[in-house]
Amino acid sequence: MGVCSNVGITPMLILTVFITAFGSSGLVGYDTGIMNLPGGNIKSFTGKYVSGGPGTDFMYALVSAIFVVAGAIGSFSSGVMAEKLGRRNTLLMNNAFAIIGAVITGPCVLAKSPALLYVGRVVSGFNAGITLGVASLYLTEISPRDIRGAVGACHQLALTLGILIAYILTLDAILNTETLWPLAVGLAGVPAAISMFVLPFCPESPRFLFMNKGNEHGARKAFVKLNSKEDVDTFIEELREEMEAAKRRSKFKCGQIFTAKDLRMPVLLACLIQIQQQLSGINAVIAYSSTMLETAGLDKSQIQYCVVGIGAFNVVMTIIALPLLERAGRRQLLLWPSVVLALSLLVLTITVTIAKQNENQPIGRTLGIVSTVFIFIYIGGFAVGLGTIPGLVVSEMFRQEPRAAAYALSQGIQWLSNLLVLISYPDINAAIGGYSFLIFLVVVVACWVVFFLYFPETKNRNFRRCG
């Protein structure tokens, strides 16, 4: 307890971070990963009941596409919700969407209705979009300043854990069967229901209570519950100064995100970092992992366990990133892991291309192994840098008034970038194969140059200075 007290950690802070990560952030990862391994069974299911229409590959791709589109809508609308309802209450309401999505999807096979699958994925995608727009924002605002990076990164850690749990539950030996895979999807409602019960006992963001609602008494109570180190009077005085500065400016409207001169560079950087996260090739690299493992000589039945291994490695590297955020700072972890990504993409361009051309030759198997190694290196660099940094720094870069709107905009851009990759990558890959990694390499290098020149360090700075 002594160590916790030294950094301002209280039991209520631990509970709030855990339930937000468990019941909101982790669900995004779970809902993202749950459709990966059961792909064959999902194609079989949709093909059985959707006849005379598009092919099963299209119907399976549609499951992912509608999830991403709904996610974008959820993220774009999350800023208004976070400002009107509050950070905690938005997440509380959002738990209902998670439960509804799980309940709709769960009986789709039993009801012989692909429509339930698609409707359920729309609702779950909307839930995921709101979560990505609010959860990290909430965690950043409630955390003591000197551990703000580690607390904010718990969002990404929970997300990677959710993906890993989804991979494990959908192994062939567990729930990846023709009849049981919807049960794995429906289980997403369990943590959401637990969160809906526990979250009302957690405090609202003290910053939201003071700055948005003018509730100083509520802000003081919430702050004391969440922070045992920093002085509450000093905190309130900082907020009061920030509010006085805000009053000297014209009242903020969402449209100012695009027109205010002092917000142009932060908004550009916030959107660019989300674009880089998706266009760095993470989804393509993971998609190629199964192919490279097969080329390296692994049996198809073993590859699913290697996919779980990749998910576990992602979790481990995200855990390693937590202390680095406070030691190395945000800027360094954004820049230098991106160099690892660029080098990995360059190597993968060469090894994947040659391996695919020599699949049944010794050199093909050798390069398949080399490609697999660099896939792990890439994922490690991504987990430490682009996986963890964007959600944290975007919420740190803005003063109170535009923060929720800017965060919602950047997350919406992230979903649209994800959709762009989802739609375009299969055709690009079919046309140029391993050379598709060069496109991601160009994006990573171009963004690196911009961030090297313009991206500020936000570690241990108060929100007023960051903004």
User: In a 10 Å sphere around its CB, with 0-12 CB exposed, 13-18 middle and 19+ buried, how is residue 51 labelled?
Assistant: exposed
Cβ atoms within 10 Å, residue 238 = 16
The dihedral through the CA atoms of 181, 315, 304, 437 has a sign that is positive
- Same fold: 9-202 with 256-467: yes
- Within 13 Å, how many C-alpha atoms sit on residue 269's CB side? 28
Residue 316 has pLDDT above 80, yes or no: yes
- Please, which contacts does 58-67 make with residues 24 or more away whose CB atoms are closer than 8 Å? 59/114, 61/422, 61/426, 62/118, 63/35, 63/117, 63/118, 63/121, 64/35, 64/422, 65/419, 65/422, 65/423, 66/118, 66/121, 66/122, 66/125, 67/31, 67/35, 67/121, 67/122, 67/124, 67/125, 67/128
pLDDT in tens, 367-376: 888 988 999 9
CA dist., res. 198 & res. 20, Å (int): 10
> What is the CATH T-level fold of the domain 256-467, as seen in this structure?
Growth Hormone; Chain: A; (1.20.1250)
Mean pLDDT lowest among 116-125, 157-166, 218-227, 289-298: 289-298
CA dist., res. 73 & res. 71, Å (int): 5
Please name the amino acid found at residue 373.
V
Which pTM value belongs to this model?
A: 0.92
pLDDT in tens, 55-114: 577 888 899 999 999 999 999 999 999 999 999 999 999 999 999 999 999 999 999 999
pLDDT confidence band for 466 (50 / 70 / 90): low
CATH superfamily of this structure's domain 9-202 = MFS general substrate transporter like domains (1.20.1250.20)
3-state helix, strand, coil in the chain (%, to 5): 80, 0, 20
Per-domain boundaries in the chain: 9-202, 256-467
Mean residue pLDDT across the chain: 90
